[in-house]
Structure 1
């Protein structure tokens, strides 16, 4: 049960809490006549259960500080957690906290009253990062107003450090977070979803990357829109790189090699295109990234240092547009004629090759009537030969059991083995070369290739 308040308790605290050289006047005020300060929303009341238990056992050992308010009421300037704990005790039926010891301060103006509230909270307990950020913002704004009114000497940052105990580095990080972070990231910090360190890292990124980085500690840059991409390519082809692109070959080269050794992006002059009147609604920054790559950024018209999206363009990306503008029509006509000539030659070659293939097929279809070399009946092998154009012989051995049962247009056997002999009767290579390596002179499985060998020999014979 609370021991309540005694005059000695109150007076015992008077000297310790009074400003230097000034006696503190403590009065007892009804707790119901005291209201919280709206500016105290900077801080979180949080869990007061431990504080409530301590007050219930030992009493309220420090008076609250209040300002006179309308209607005979009072507004807290220091002691919100203690007042909340006392009101909770009263609501639970614990007697002795209906009236509370208070020091009545006189308002020194809104900014000074706010600074007094912050001063009482800044070092009273360990604050969360969110509370410290809100405290920094409110205190800085109040001190800036006082500085502008000529009521503050010295630097604002020094005064903030004196009041909060934060060093210049910490204050600088708070300033970077508030000035550079998006509202979403600031809200995440205030809710305790991210640390001050993570928020400070976000402050160094473009705003479009911050939310993703805050959540994942990784952030990609969105690509530019299709409209912005088309606008960038149009500028590069018609203006920025036009002098270089006009000289390139779009007839015999493809998108992958047309710019080889003929295009140096580093010669591109950086430029900013205003697309704010278009659907893109952005500034388009185009600049060289290296000798082969163009960097294209969409920037915020309201803050030209803020990048909204970024993509890299390579020579292959503007090949089609450049080709439409700069292709040499005379070269194109000559190239088409050249291609047609090659196509006609190939068609004639294929037709001629088809003629030799047909003759070879006829010979193979009549394989059973070729001159017989030997027949090994016990092994089921038949060996026949064909005279070759060089005077040598092509010897083919077949398995009698591998003959197709029905008619086959061309060779009648599923498998065959062959060896080539030169005009002198010695082993030769498959093409008749008597100087071929030994492994090239061995019996070999020909399969469908035998038709090609014979077709080539018929062609040689005809042309000889």
Structure 2
């Protein structure tokens, strides 16, 4: 059976919560005539089962604090959890809690009443991060109104510290979170999805980064829009860097090297472009970032300290636009003529090379009729030779088993080895040099290169013939 609230509690505890020099007047009020304070939504009632069990066993040991309300009712200032527990006991049929001991306070005004409510809750129990954040905002607003009305001496932060017991560091972090975090992050704090520490880290970021950081503790910056990118390039090419870009070579250079040693991005004066009249409702901030890079940021027109997107541009990104404006048409015409001449020369060279290659292919196709050096039947090897233009010899050895089964255009064997002999019969390098290093005179695997090797010798012989 509940002990309820004893007379000793009333008479013996009157000074506990009374103003200095006054006794606390405790009266018994019907619990049904007491209503919760709307401002108490700052705090969570939470689970009162343990409190309810304690009150059922020991009674209500501290009176509630109330204010007179309309229609003869009363509104709570302190004791919402105790009142909730008592109402639950009555609903469950536990007697003794139909009337509750209360201290009736007189309203000192909305802000002072709110401060009294916060004071009664601030240190009564461990608050959740959401409660602390809501408490901070409500208390600060109330104190700011009192300060503006001339009803508060001293600093607001000092008064908040006195009421809540929080140090200046904690209050500073709460202030940063309340003022700088976007509503989504604040809601995540209140729902207990992130800690106050994570929210404080978010408060240091730009608003567009905060939600992503709150979720995964990493935040990328969105890239600027295509329109903003085009606007930045247009400004840099036509205004910011025009004097430098006009002097560069767009004919013989590409986007990778046209600006090398010819352009210094650091000379660009930072500028802010107003794009609020266009498709992108933003300000565009362009700044140099090194010798060949630029940082482009989109700023929120309502708060220019807020960056909503950011990208980097390089001189490579400016090439196409600059080339269209500044290319020298006379140089371009001369360059095209030069390229055509080189292309024609290369085509002629390839045709000439193709002629000698065809002759070499014919010789190799007739390899089996070359002068026989030796045939090692027991090893399946055949060695033949070709007379070279310098009077030396090209010795080629083939494995008879590597001969193609059908006809092929050119050399009839899959594999061969070769060695070059000079006019004096000594081993020479592949080009006939008798002074070549030892390793260059050894037998070597010619592979497909043998055709080109012989083509060069045929061409060499033709040149020598012309000289004679």
Give me the TM-score of the superposition, normalised by structure 2: 0.96
Structure 1 segments, 4+ long, off by >6 Å, are none
Q: CA deviation at 1:397?
A: 2.6
- Distance in 2, Cα, partners of 1:385 & 1:166: 101
Query: Is the Cα contact below 8 Å between 1:223 and 1:310 reproduced in 2?
Result: yes
**CA offset digits 1:279-331 (Å, max 9, x no partner):** 11111000012222100001100000000011111111111111111111111
Counterparts in 2 of 1:357 and 1:112: CA distance versus 1, 3 Å:
same
Q: CA deviation at 1:140?
A: 1.2
Q: CA deviation at 1:461?
A: 5.5
Counterparts in 2 of 1:217 and 1:400: CA distance versus 1, 3 Å:
closer
- Distance in 1, Cα, partners of 2:208 & 2:411: 72
Q: CA deviation at 1:402?
A: 3.4
- Distance in 1, Cα, partners of 2:192 & 2:467: 91
Q: CA deviation at 1:273?
A: 0.6
Query: Is the Cα contact below 8 Å between 1:30 and 1:100 reproduced in 2?
Result: yes
Query: Is the Cα contact below 8 Å between 1:29 and 1:101 reproduced in 2?
Result: yes
Counterparts in 2 of 1:403 and 1:143: CA distance versus 1, 3 Å:
closer
Residue range with higher mean Cα deviation, 259-268 or 401-410: 401-410
Q: CA deviation at 1:462?
A: 5.8
Q: CA deviation at 1:393?
A: 1.4
- Distance in 2, Cα, partners of 1:165 & 1:154: 17
**CA offset digits 1:58-85 (Å, max 9, x no partner):** 1111111111111111111111111001
Counterparts in 2 of 1:16 and 1:399: CA distance versus 1, 3 Å:
closer
Counterparts in 2 of 1:462 and 1:354: CA distance versus 1, 3 Å:
farther
Query: Is the Cα contact below 8 Å between 1:389 and 1:461 reproduced in 2?
Result: no
- Distance in 2, Cα, partners of 1:461 & 1:382: 32
Residue range with higher mean Cα deviation, 208-217 or 372-381: 372-381
- Distance in 2, Cα, partners of 1:139 & 1:337: 81
- Distance in 2, Cα, partners of 1:414 & 1:298: 66
Q: CA deviation at 1:396?
A: 2.1
Query: Is the Cα contact below 8 Å between 1:284 and 1:298 reproduced in 2?
Result: yes
Query: Is the Cα contact below 8 Å between 1:391 and 1:422 reproduced in 2?
Result: yes
Counterparts in 2 of 1:405 and 1:147: CA distance versus 1, 3 Å:
closer
Counterparts in 2 of 1:378 and 1:196: CA distance versus 1, 3 Å:
closer
Counterparts in 2 of 1:353 and 1:12: CA distance versus 1, 3 Å:
same
Counterparts in 2 of 1:48 and 1:366: CA distance versus 1, 3 Å:
same
**2:262 maps to what in 1?**
262
Q: CA deviation at 1:30?
A: 0.5
Query: Is the Cα contact below 8 Å between 1:66 and 1:103 reproduced in 2?
Result: yes
Q: CA deviation at 1:443?
A: 2.1
Residue range with higher mean Cα deviation, 412-421 or 83-92: 412-421
- Distance in 1, Cα, partners of 2:467 & 2:53: 115
Residue range with higher mean Cα deviation, 202-211 or 390-399: 390-399
Counterparts in 2 of 1:136 and 1:344: CA distance versus 1, 3 Å:
same
RMSD: 1.5
Unaligned runs of 5+ in 1: none
Counterparts in 2 of 1:406 and 1:49: CA distance versus 1, 3 Å:
closer
- Distance in 1, Cα, partners of 2:196 & 2:402: 84
Query: Is the Cα contact below 8 Å between 1:13 and 1:61 reproduced in 2?
Result: no
Q: CA deviation at 1:165?
A: 1.3
Report the secondary structure of 2:253's partner residue. coil
Counterparts in 2 of 1:30 and 1:445: CA distance versus 1, 3 Å:
same
- Distance in 2, Cα, partners of 1:368 & 1:198: 84
Counterparts in 2 of 1:352 and 1:83: CA distance versus 1, 3 Å:
same
- Distance in 1, Cα, partners of 2:163 & 2:125: 14
Counterparts in 2 of 1:420 and 1:461: CA distance versus 1, 3 Å:
farther
Q: CA deviation at 1:463?
A: 6.5
- Distance in 2, Cα, partners of 1:166 & 1:82: 25
- Distance in 2, Cα, partners of 1:292 & 1:444: 50
- Distance in 1, Cα, partners of 2:467 & 2:411: 25
Counterparts in 2 of 1:27 and 1:400: CA distance versus 1, 3 Å:
closer
**CA offset digits 1:170-215 (Å, max 9, x no partner):** 1111111111111111111122222222111111110111111112
Give me the TM-score of the superposition, normalised by structure 1: 0.97
- Distance in 1, Cα, partners of 2:162 & 2:376: 114
Q: CA deviation at 1:86?
A: 0.4
Residue range with higher mean Cα deviation, 220-229 or 91-100: 220-229
Count of matched residue positions in the alignment of Structure 1 and Structure 2 = 464
**1:436 maps to what in 2?**
436
Counterparts in 2 of 1:17 and 1:447: CA distance versus 1, 3 Å:
closer
**1:170 maps to what in 2?**
170
